[in-house]
Structure 1
Amino acid sequence: MAAGPWSLLLICLGAAATAGVLRARAQPDSIGFISIDCGLPGTAGYVDDATKLSYVPDAAFVTDAGCNRNISAEYITPTLSRRYLNVRSFPDGVRSCYALRSLVAGLKYIVRAAFLYGNYDGLRRSPVFDLYIGVNFWGTMNVSSPNVAVTLEAIVVVPGDVVQICLLNTGSGTPFISSLDLRPLKSTVYPQANATRGLLLLGRWNFGPTDATDLVRYPDDPHDRVWFPWVDASAWAVISTTDRVLNIGDEDLFEAPSKVLQTAITPRNGTNNIEFSWDREAQQQPKNQTPAGYIAVMHFSELQVVPRNAVREFYVNLNGKLWYPDGITPFYLSAGFAYDMDPLPDSARYNISINATANSTLPPFINAIEIFSVISTNKVGTDSQDVSAIMAIKMKYRVQKNWMGDPCVPKTLAWDGLTCSSTSPPKITAVYGNNSNLCTNAESCQTAKGKSKKVAVYVAVPVVLVVVTGLLATLFFCFLRRKKQGSTTNNSVNPQIETPASHVPRGDAHAQSSVQLENRRFTYRELETITNKFERVLGQGGFGKVYSGSLPDGTRVAVKLRSQNSNQGVGQFLAENLVSMIGYCKDGQHMALVYEYMSEGTLHEHITAGNGSNRRCLTWRQRLQMALESAQGLEYLHKGCNPPLIHRDVKATNILLNEKLEAKIADFGLSKAFDHNNGIQVAPNPNSLVVGTLGYIDPEYYKTNNTTTKSDVYSFGVVLLQLVSGRPAILHDPEPINITDWARRHLSRGNIEGVVDARMNGSYDVNSVWKVAEIALKCTVKASSQRPTMSEVVGQLQECLHLEEVHADDGATGSFYTGTNHDPDSGYNAYAADDGQSIDVR
C-alpha cells in the first residue's frame, strides 16, 4: 500500500523540521569541538574545571535510546571529573548510536569515548561490548574495574558531514558510555591516517614530568590531545626548559605542544641507553583479523645549548634492530619527530632502545612518544541522501526498535522493514507496509501532536524525499507569507512591502531609491525578446541562470530565470520579488526576476581582485564608500520599510556595484519581516531551519533560531572585515577558520598590519582602518545585545570616511583603481563562483 503524494509531502515536511531542530542543538562549538557528557540530565551544560571547555548533555546527539544513570556513591571521589558522575546506559536493542553533525567531509578528527562503570546498575558486573565509528569497527570496550576510567581514542577521516558512534551489545553486558569528544585536526597532520584506515591510540606519553598526575591537554594542546606523564626517576634523569619550543609550520606533521616538548629524559648514567617497552593489547584488535601491529611517532627537541666541540646523535632500535635508518640530531628548541608510515611487525612486546652513535659525545634523549594501531575504515555506509531522508522519518515519528546506526550496513543489523541495494554505497530501495512492530509503545510512530499516522506506508523511494520536502516547504512558506502580508492581484505585489534593493543616498536613510520600481509583470515571451532568446549568460546561482537583456527603451537589465532543476521554488521566488528592481515573470512554469543591470558585478569580485583579473585593487577610500552605502541600504531595510525587513543573507556577493561603483544591497530570497518593538522576525517558527551562508551566519541565530536585525549586523561585520583584509569569509590558515576569529587573533596583539590588505600598499589612514576593524569586531560579538544597530554603524562609518578624506587632503595618495573591464558582462561572473552558497543550515 502506498500513500498519496500529498500525504508523503506533509510527512516529509514535518520530519525535516523536526530533524532540523535536533541538528541545530547538536553542533560543534566555536572552536570546532564537540564535548558531550553522556547521561547528563536536563538541557544545561557546564564548563570543565580543568580544560575550561564547555560540556553539553547528550540528548540532542542520541534519539530516544538509553537512559541516564548515576554511578554508585562509593566510587565518587573529590578529584573525580564531573563527566564521570553519570552514564548513559543502553539496555534495549543491539546497536545504539550517537550522531555528531556539521562536520567537514574529508577532514581528520580525533574521536574519544570514555567509560567509568562505577557500578551504576548495582550488578557489580563490568560489561564487554564493541564500538563502531560509522560502519567500521573501532574497538572492544572491556571495563575490568568499576573505579577505573577507560578511554578509547582514534584519529579518522570523516567521509561525510555526519559521523555516527555506535555501541554494539555483544551479549556480555549492557553497553554504556560516560563522555564522548570530537576534535578537528588539520588534513596534513598524522599522514598515516587516510580515508581507508584510521589510527587507534594505544598511548600518548610525555617524558620528563616528575608528577604522575601532570597531564597535558587543552589549552596547552590546541587539539586537546591528552599526554600522560611517563615517570621513572630511578632510570632516567630529566632535562627541561621554560623557553618555548617552536613548531616548524606546515612541515610539522604532528604539532606536539610546546609544554610537552619542554621536558625530556636522558640516562642517569651518560653511557647507558634509554630503554622502555609496551605490550600488545589483544582486545584492541578488530575481530577475525590478523593483528596489524603498531605505528609509533617519537618526538625530539634539543633543550640544551650544545657546545661547539660537542655532538649529540643517537639511533633508535626496535626489538634489537635499527628502526630509524639514520642518526638523529634534533635542533635546539625546534619540534622534531621520527615516525613510520606502515605498521611495525607484529610482536607480543615492543622493546625500544635509544643509544648514542659512535660520534656522539652527549647522551641520547626523548621528549614524547605516541603509539597507535591501525584500524580499517574502508567499509562504505548507506547513500547519504537516503540516510538523511529515512532519519527525518525516524525522528518525526520517534521510531525505535532497531532503527539505529546505518540503515543498511552491516546487513545483519539492517533496519527492520527496509530493503537495500547491494551497490556501493548501498541505497534504500523500499520501505514496506504493515510494520506495526516498528513501534515499541503507544507513543512512538505518532506525530508530535499525538496523531496516530503510521510510518510504514509513507516511503517508496526515499531519495525522492529530499526533493519533495524542499518543494512543499517553499509552497508552505509562500502561503504563510501571502496570508501575513495581505492578498495581491495577479499583476502586482503589495506596494508597502516592495522595497528598493538599491542603496539610499547618504544623509537620508529613508529616502527613495535611485531606481523606481515598475511593479511590472512580464510574460515569458517578452523575456525571450528582452534577452534575444536568452543568448548571453551573465552567471549562474542556486535559483538559476542570469541573462543579459535590454528593455525597449534601451535600459539594460539582468534577467534571473529559475531553472527547472533548481531546488528554490515559489517561496524563494516571491520573497525575492518583494524587493525586485524592475519586474517579474510568473508565466506557467516559468519564473524570473528582472533586475537593474549592475555592470560592475559583486563586491566579492572586487575584494578578491587579482590572480589574472583585469580589475585593480580597490583603494581604501573606495572600500569605505562601498561599506557606507551598503550599511545605509541595510539601515533602510531595518527602519524605512513597511513592514521592516531582515535580509538574513548579507554577504559580499549580495552587494552589487553599478558603473559608478555605487554599492547596493540585493538578493532578498531569505528576507523576513520583523516586529518594530523588538527587532525579531514576525512570528518566528522554532521548527524552521537556520538559513544563510556559512561564514556569515550569526552564531546566536544559529543557536536560538531567532532572527533579529542584529543578525544582519553580524553578517555586515564579516563584510567589513573582508573590505579591510581582502580575504574571504572563511580562510584556510591552513585549516578552515572564520575571518572573525582570524582577525581577532591578530588584532588582540595589535597586529593591524597582519589584517589589512597588503595590496593597498599602506595608502590609507591607519586610524581609519583601525576604526573600521573595531566596528567590525563590535558587529560580530557573540551576544547580539552588545552589537550596534545599523544606524550606529552608518554614523561610525561616516566618521571613518571623514578620517580618510582628511588623510587624502594631507597629501596621501592611494593606489589607482578602475572598474572598467574588457568584457562588459564580466561583472556577473561571481554568480558562477560564489564565496558561499545561501543554504538552509541543517
Structure 2
Amino acid sequence: MKLCVAVLLFYMFQVIHGQPDYQGFISIDCGIPLNSTYQDSITNIVYVSDYGFITTGENRIISSDYMEPSLAKRYSNLRFFPHGPRNCYTLRSLVMGNKYLVRASFYYGNYDGLGKPPVFDLYLGTNYWHEVNYSDAGAFNWMDIILVVPTDYLQVCLVNKGMGNPFISGLDLRPLNTTLYPEVNASQSLVLVNSNRFHMGPTDNSIIRYPSDPLDRIWTTYNAIPNCTKISATSPMHNNLRDVYDVPPSVMQNAATVNSSRIDFSWNPSDPSANINSKYFFIFYFAELQHVPSKAVRQFDIIVNNKTWNSRPYTPTFLFANYFSGVVQGMENYSVSLVATKNATLPPILNAMEMYLVKPITAVATDPEDARAMMAIQDNFGVVKNWMGDPCTPKTFIWRGLNCSYPPANPSEIMGLNLSSFGLVGAISTNFRDLKALQYLDLSHNKLSGPIPNFIGELSSLMFLDLSSNDLSGPIPYSLLQRSQNGSLSLRVGGNPNLCGNGTSCRTVRKKINGTLLAAIVVPIVIAITLFVILFLLRQALKGKAKRKATGHEDGSALLGSREFSYKELKHITNNFSQEIGKGGFGPVFLGYLENGNPVAVKVRSESSSQGGKEFLAEAQHLTRIHHKNLVSLVGYCKDRNHLALVYEYMPEGSLQDHLRGSSWPFKCGFLYWLIKVLGALNQLYMCCFLKIGLQKHYISFKRELHIPSIIRDY
C-alpha cells in the first residue's frame, strides 16, 4: 500500500511540474493554488495546478450564485488574462508525430460580476482552433481537438479580440493510438464544437467518460430523436477488430429506436464560423443489442442530406460495434435519416454518433529547433515580455526582440535577436548555439557574467555581435577575434572591464579604491618624486646628447632592437588596414595579426600628424628601454620611406572619455586627468604610480588620451 501511494505521489509531482502522468495524461485545473493537486472522486483523474504550464494570468473563483453541491471542483475556479493579446499554455514531453486529444473547458460562472461571458479566440500552436463564444453564464462548455503533434511540445493560446478578458477552467491532453481517427494527419485535425459526441443512454444528461472510456472522451446523452424508444444490451458488448474509433462498450450498450420504419432527425452545428467552405466529419455507430427472432430482419439505409452512405442495405451485428463515417460540406442544417428497407421487419437503431469540424492545418510554425532553443533561453533567463506561444508566428504575435524569416512553405527561422536591456542575468545560455540561422545578436546592457563561450564564434551565419556593457570576463575567443579582423563579423565588447583581448592569459581585477584614498596616495608620491625625476631626466638628456655627438649616431636608428617591418608587411597583417580600433595625435591605430596568430595594434603616422622622423625615433627608442610585467612592450616598427608606424602588443580597451563618462568616482578621474595633463612629460612616473595602486585599466585610458607610448597589460 505504501509503495502504491509513493508511486502515485511521484507521478503527481511529475505532472505538477509540467509533465504527463504515467498514463500520458495531462489534467490541469486552471486557477487552483500554486503546486496544489487533487484526485477527482468520480473519474479518479489527478488534477494539478497550471504552475509549470504558464507564467501569466490571474486566479479567480466563480460567483457564489453559481456554486452548487453537484458542481465539479475544477469548475469552481478559473484563470483569466487581463494583460497581453496572447497568453499560452505549453504542454511538454510529448511524442512528436503521435496523435493526441486536447480539451479546453470553460465555465464562466460570472466570476467578474459583469454577467456577460467574454468572446475570444483559441489557437493550437500557430493554427486557429475556434472562437470561444458562449452566452449562458451557467453553462458548462468544452472543445476537443484531435491532432498529430509536429513537435515534442504543444501550445494552447487564448487570444484577446477586444470582447472581454479570455479565461479558461481546465485543460486536458490525452494520448491516442496512431491508428485511431485515420482522418487526422499532419495536414488536418478534427475539432469537436459544442460537445457534439453523443450516446443514447436511457438517462437524460448522463455523461460517459474515463474510466469507462479509456481515452477520456466525453459522451453526452442525445435526446433530439422524435418519438424514440431506448433499448439496452443484456450481454457484454465487443468491439469490432476493424474499429478505428475504439468506441467504448459503455457507449454502445444503449440504442435509440422507433415504432416506425425510419428515424429522422436534424443537426445544427451552431457554429458561427461555419460556411460553405467548411467541412464536417460524421461518425454513426451501430450494434444489435437484442436477440432477433429467426424470421425477423433489421435492415436499413443511412442517408445524410439525401445522400445514401451505405452501398447495400445495412444490418447491425449482434453485440459488436460497427460504424459508418463520411465528410459533408458546410451547411446551416443537416438532415439524418435511417430508413428501413422493404425487406425489414424491425425498425432502424442508432447507438452513438460524433460530429467534428474538419480543420486544415495551414500555418507554418517556427523551425522546431529554433523554437525549442528560444523556450529554453526564456527558461534560463526568466523572460516574460510577450514570450508566449510560437516565437515567430503568427506575425502579429512575434516575440519581442525577434526578427524572423518567413519562407512561403517552410518553417520560419530566427534571423535576429535584439535582447539589449532585457535584464538578462548570469552566463550566456548555451541554447544560443541552436539558432543556426542567427545573423544578428545584441546582448548589450544586461548583467551577463562569466566567459564568452567559444560556440558563439562557430555560428556561421552570425554577422553582428554586441556584448558590450555587461560583466563578462576572461579572454575573447580567438574565433571571434579572427572573424572580427577579417571583416566577417562586427564585434562589440566594450564595457566589460574583466575581458582580455589576447586570448591567452588574464588576471583577476584588483579591487578599486575610493577617490579620497587615491588622492592621499597619489599626491604625496607625485610631489615627492617629481623633483627627483626632473633632475634625473635633465642629467640623462645632457649625457645622451654628449654621447651622440661623440659617436656620430645622431639619427639613433641603430639603437632600435625591435623587429623592423616593411610597409607591405603592415598592409598584410592588418588586412590592408581594414579595422581601425583607435586614433591619437600620431595617427590611427589598426588591429592586425602576426604570422603566429597573435593580435597586434599598429599605430600609423597620419599625413596630418605634426610628429616627424626625430620624434618617431625618440618614441621608439623610449619604448625599447621599457620592461615591466604589466607593460605591453613594443613588438616592432616601420620606417619605410615616408611610412612611419609602431607595432604594439594588442590590448582591447575603451578611451579615456568612455571611462570618465561612465565612472562612478568623478573626483578620482577628474583629479588624475588634470594631474596627468599637467605632468604629461613624466610618463614613466605616472605609470609607476598607477601600477602601485592597482589602476592599470584607467592608466591605459589616460595614456591614450595623452598619446603616451607603451601600453599597460590588462590584468
Q: 1:209 aligns with which of 198, 201, 204?
A: 201
The reply to whether residue 74 of structure 1 matches residue 47 of structure 2 is: no
Contact preservation (8 Å) 2:277, 2:329: no
**Percent identity between the two aligned chains:** 42
The reply to whether residue 51 of structure 1 matches residue 43 of structure 2 is: yes
Partner of 2:349, secondary structure, is: coil
For 1:181, give the aligned amino acid: D
For 2:365, give the aligned amino acid: G
Cα distance, 1:454–1:128 mapped onto 2, change above 3 Å: farther
How far apart, CA to CA, are the structure 2 residues paired with 1:163 and 1:364?
Answer: 42
Q: 1:223 aligns with which of 200, 205, 215?
A: 215
**Alignment partner, residue 793 of structure 1:** none
**Gap regions ≥5 residues in structure 1:** 1-20, 439-444, 473-842
Partner of 2:272, secondary structure, is: helix
**Alignment partner, residue 111 of structure 1:** 102
Deviation digits for residues 467-519 of structure 1 (CA, Å, limit 9, x no counterpart): x99999xxxxxxxxxxxxxxxxxxxxxxxxxxxxxxxxxxxxxxxxxxxxxxx
Contact preservation (8 Å) 2:224, 2:265: no
Partner of 1:396, secondary structure, is: helix
Post-superposition offset of 1:140 = 0.2
**Alignment partner, residue 26 of structure 2:** 34
Partner of 2:206, secondary structure, is: coil
Contact preservation (8 Å) 2:387, 2:399: yes
Contact preservation (8 Å) 1:35, 1:56: yes
Contact preservation (8 Å) 1:116, 1:148: yes
For 1:300, give the aligned amino acid: F
**Alignment partner, residue 302 of structure 1:** 288
Post-superposition offset of 1:210 = 2.5
**Alignment partner, residue 395 of structure 1:** 379
Cα distance, 1:428–1:205 mapped onto 2, change above 3 Å: closer
Contact preservation (8 Å) 1:430, 1:460: no
Q: 1:312 aligns with which of 294, 298, 304?
A: 298
Q: 2:267 aligns with which of 278, 288, 302?
A: 278
**Alignment partner, residue 137 of structure 1:** 128
How far apart, CA to CA, are the structure 2 residues paired with 1:469 and 1:227?
Answer: 55
The reply to whether residue 150 of structure 1 matches residue 123 of structure 2 is: no
**Alignment partner, residue 199 of structure 1:** 190
The reply to whether residue 359 of structure 1 matches residue 343 of structure 2 is: yes
Contact preservation (8 Å) 1:305, 1:332: yes
For 1:135, give the aligned amino acid: T
Cα distance, 1:168–1:233 mapped onto 2, change above 3 Å: closer
Partner of 1:145, secondary structure, is: coil
For 2:91, give the aligned amino acid: L
Q: 1:180 aligns with which of 165, 171, 177?
A: 171
For 1:362, give the aligned amino acid: L
How far apart, CA to CA, are the structure 1 residues paired with 2:252 and 2:362?
Answer: 34
Deviation digits for residues 813-834 of structure 1 (CA, Å, limit 9, x no counterpart): xxxxxxxxxxxxxxxxxxxxxx
**Alignment partner, residue 682 of structure 1:** none
The reply to whether residue 417 of structure 1 matches residue 401 of structure 2 is: yes
Cα distance, 1:214–1:125 mapped onto 2, change above 3 Å: closer
The reply to whether residue 462 of structure 1 matches residue 435 of structure 2 is: yes
Contact preservation (8 Å) 1:428, 1:461: no
The 5-angstrom pairing of residues 347-386 of structure 1 reads: 347-386=331-370
For 2:57, give the aligned amino acid: G
Contact preservation (8 Å) 1:107, 1:158: yes
How far apart, CA to CA, are the structure 2 residues paired with 1:390 and 1:23?
Answer: 23
Cα distance, 1:284–1:112 mapped onto 2, change above 3 Å: farther
**Alignment partner, residue 243 of structure 1:** 235
The reply to whether residue 124 of structure 1 matches residue 115 of structure 2 is: yes
How far apart, CA to CA, are the structure 2 residues paired with 1:23 and 1:310?
Answer: 54
Partner of 2:207, secondary structure, is: coil
**Alignment partner, residue 259 of structure 1:** 250
How far apart, CA to CA, are the structure 1 residues paired with 2:393 and 2:70?
Answer: 41
How far apart, CA to CA, are the structure 2 residues paired with 1:161 and 1:469?
Answer: 28
How far apart, CA to CA, are the structure 2 residues paired with 1:233 and 1:431?
Answer: 59
For 2:134, give the aligned amino acid: V
**Gap regions ≥5 residues in structure 2:** 1-12, 439-451, 457-715
How far apart, CA to CA, are the structure 2 residues paired with 1:181 and 1:212?
Answer: 25
Which portions of structure 1, spanning 4 or more consecutive aligned residues, are displaced by more than 6 angstroms? 21-24, 468-472
Partner of 2:314, secondary structure, is: coil
How far apart, CA to CA, are the structure 1 residues paired with 2:14 and 2:380?
Answer: 11
Cα distance, 1:376–1:469 mapped onto 2, change above 3 Å: farther
Deviation digits for residues 48-76 of structure 1 (CA, Å, limit 9, x no counterpart): 122110001001111x2111111111111
Q: 1:322 aligns with which of 290, 303, 308?
A: 308
How far apart, CA to CA, are the structure 1 residues paired with 2:412 and 2:148?
Answer: 20
How far apart, CA to CA, are the structure 2 residues paired with 1:219 and 1:362?
Answer: 34
Deviation digits for residues 214-264 of structure 1 (CA, Å, limit 9, x no counterpart): 211101101000110113696111211142211123x21111110111110
Deviation digits for residues 707-742 of structure 1 (CA, Å, limit 9, x no counterpart): xxxxxxxxxxxxxxxxxxxxxxxxxxxxxxxxxxxx
Post-superposition offset of 1:109 = 0.9
The 5-angstrom pairing of residues 421-500 of structure 1 reads: 421-423=405-407, 424-434=410-420, 436=421, 445=423, 447=425, 462-463=435-436
For 1:283, give the aligned amino acid: P
Post-superposition offset of 1:41 = 0.8
Post-superposition offset of 1:460 = 8.4
Aligned length: 428
Contact preservation (8 Å) 1:204, 1:370: yes
Cα distance, 1:303–1:22 mapped onto 2, change above 3 Å: closer
How far apart, CA to CA, are the structure 2 residues paired with 1:284 and 1:127?
Answer: 17
Deviation digits for residues 173-217 of structure 1 (CA, Å, limit 9, x no counterpart): 111100001111111111111111111113444443222232111
How far apart, CA to CA, are the structure 1 residues paired with 2:79 and 2:277?
Answer: 31
For 2:294, give the aligned amino acid: R
The reply to whether residue 339 of structure 1 matches residue 330 of structure 2 is: no
Deviation digits for residues 571-620 of structure 1 (CA, Å, limit 9, x no counterpart): xxxxxxxxxxxxxxxxxxxxxxxxxxxxxxxxxxxxxxxxxxxxxxxxxx
How far apart, CA to CA, are the structure 1 residues paired with 2:234 and 2:437?
Answer: 61
Post-superposition offset of 1:433 = 4.5
Contact preservation (8 Å) 1:430, 1:461: no
Stretch deviating more after TM superposition (304-313 or 71-80): 304-313
How far apart, CA to CA, are the structure 2 residues paired with 1:45 and 1:186?
Answer: 28
Post-superposition offset of 1:97 = 0.5
Deviation digits for residues 422-447 of structure 1 (CA, Å, limit 9, x no counterpart): 2311111120243x4x5xxxxxx454
Partner of 1:282, secondary structure, is: coil
For 2:324, give the aligned amino acid: A
Post-superposition offset of 1:307 = 2.3
For 1:354, give the aligned amino acid: L
The structure in which a higher percent of residues are strand is: 2
Post-superposition offset of 1:317 = 1.3
How far apart, CA to CA, are the structure 2 residues paired with 1:322 and 1:284?
Answer: 27
For 2:208, give the aligned amino acid: V
Partner of 1:74, secondary structure, is: helix
How far apart, CA to CA, are the structure 1 residues paired with 2:293 and 2:16?
Answer: 59
The TM-score with structure 2 as length reference comes to: 0.57
How far apart, CA to CA, are the structure 1 residues paired with 2:52 and 2:223?
Answer: 40
Deviation digits for residues 345-373 of structure 1 (CA, Å, limit 9, x no counterpart): 22211011111111211111010010011
For 1:282, give the aligned amino acid: D
